[in-house]
């Protein structure tokens, strides 16, 4: 495969080097002093065995993110020699640049680690899955209240009923292992009664979709890396910003995503310069 041009984040301290060495790309960028835009769009050429979900995973993109950036390309058989866009230029969500921020329409998480003395601030971003239509991920401010390695899953009665009606009955407890949809790491949030989590997955293809029962899913290697960085008590802000704007060098940039209520019905993603 022809290697895509790698984005050019600046690494300010050794702790971030390990993230970039993980499978896929962990997108680590210095926080812009003036403006809110990070990253760059890239291109690559496919080989015959590539699929868009595999490429999304490899380059730290979500399922719909790579599909919308490449309209008309077959998801499972893009073919050899196809030039693809890897969307990587992003406007940061509005608001405080601290802790964890999840923008639901974007299907993306932003982490603003507190810099140590002498370090320059960075932002780390990952694709995520969010709640589907009838199981909304809650908006607002919350915090991490627990870090759990190898979590067991206790599906609520409502979810067990849903699975039973679909001919896929669930046990009362799903222990750690390959059949556990929580993956190997979870960050429990204070939202609700503590039932919402940021966690891994045993189905990486679905990262970037609105498919969960309200939790936020990440690629296994992404939650592994984030788990090591985030402390209990870290602030979490879940926002709904389908449209983000920024001025850069006298140019107005607009980034838009399908509103949460329309995810699965409309495909709308563009960058506009004026």
**pLDDT tens sequence across 93-123:** 999 999 999 999 999 999 999 998 888 999 9
* Strand residues in 157-262 grouped as ranges (E): 185-189, 197-199, 210-212, 216-217, 235-239, 243-248, 251-256
The number of CA neighbours under 13 Å toward the Cβ of 92 is 28
Asked whether 214 and 138 are in contact (CB, 8 A), the reply is yes
User: Residue 206: is its pLDDT beyond 70?
Assistant: yes
Query: Residue 161 and residue 195: Cα distance in Å, rounded?
Result: 17
Q: Alpha-carbon distance 190 to 182, whole Å?
A: 17
What pLDDT score was predicted for residue 54? 96
CB atoms within 10 A of CB 268: 13
Q: What is the pLDDT of residue 34?
A: 73
Q: Is the pLDDT of residue 38 over 80?
A: yes
Q: Residue ranges of the alpha helices (H) in the chain?
A: 17-20, 52-58, 63-68, 157-165, 220-229
Instruction: Calculate mean pLDDT across residues 68-97.
Output: 96
Q: Residue 15: is it exposed, middle or buried by C-beta count within 10 angstroms (0-12/13-18/19+)?
A: middle
Which string of DSSP letters, residue by residue, matches 36-47? SEE---EEEE--
pLDDT tens digit string along 223-274? 999 999 999 999 999 999 999 999 888 889 999 998 886 443 333 232 322 2
Burial (0-12, 13-18, 19+ Cβ within 10 Å), 174 = middle
Site of tokens 């999840």: 102
Residue 20 has pLDDT above 70, yes or no: no
Residues 157, 81: Cα–Cα separation, whole Å = 48
Q: Which residues are catalytic?
A: 199, 215
Q: Between residues 116 and 1, which one has the greater pLDDT?
A: 116
Q: In 5-116, at which residue ranges do the beta strands (DSSP E only) sit?
A: 27-30, 37-38, 42-45, 83-86, 90-91, 99-103, 108-112
Rounded CA separation 190/196 (Å): 8
Q: Is the pLDDT of residue 178 over 70?
A: yes
Domains in the chain: ranges and CATH: 14-239 (2.40.440.10)
User: In the prediction, which pLDDT does 8 show?
Assistant: 37
């Amino acid at each position: 495969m022809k290697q895509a041009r790698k984005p050019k984040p600046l690494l300010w301290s050794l702790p971030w080097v390990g993230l970039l060495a993980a499978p896929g790309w962990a997108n680590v960028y210095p926080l812009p002093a003036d403006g809110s835009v990070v990253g760059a769009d890239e291109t690559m050429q496919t080989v015959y065995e590539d699929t868009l979900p595999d490429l999304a995973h490899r380059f730290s993109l979500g399922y719909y993110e790579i599909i919308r950036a490449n309209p008309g390309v077959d998801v499972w058989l893009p073919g050899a020699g196809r030039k693809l866009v890897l969307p990587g230029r992003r406007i940061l969500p509005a608001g405080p640049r601290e802790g964890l921020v999840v923008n639901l329409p974007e299907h993306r998480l932003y982490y603003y680690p507190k810099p140590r003395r002498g370090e320059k601030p960075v932002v780390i971003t990952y694709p995520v899955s969010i709640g589907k239509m009838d199981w909304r991920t809650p908006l607002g401010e919350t915090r991490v209240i627990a870090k759990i390695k190898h979590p067991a899953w206790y599906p609520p009665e409502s979810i067990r009923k849903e699975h039973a009606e679909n001919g896929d009955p669930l046990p009362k407890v799903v222990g750690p292992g390959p059949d556990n949809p929580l993956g190997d790491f979870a960050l429990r949030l204070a939202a609700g009664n503590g039932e919402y989590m940021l966690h891994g997955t045993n189905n990486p293809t679905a990262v970037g979709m609105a498919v969960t029962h309200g939790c936020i899913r990440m690629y296994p290697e992404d939650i592994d890396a984030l788990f090591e960085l985030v402390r209990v008590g870290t602030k979490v802000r879940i926002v709904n910003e389908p449209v983000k704007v920024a001025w850069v060098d006298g140019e107005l940039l607009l980034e838009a995503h399908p509103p949460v209520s329309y995810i699965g019905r409309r495909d709308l993603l563009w960058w506009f310069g004026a």
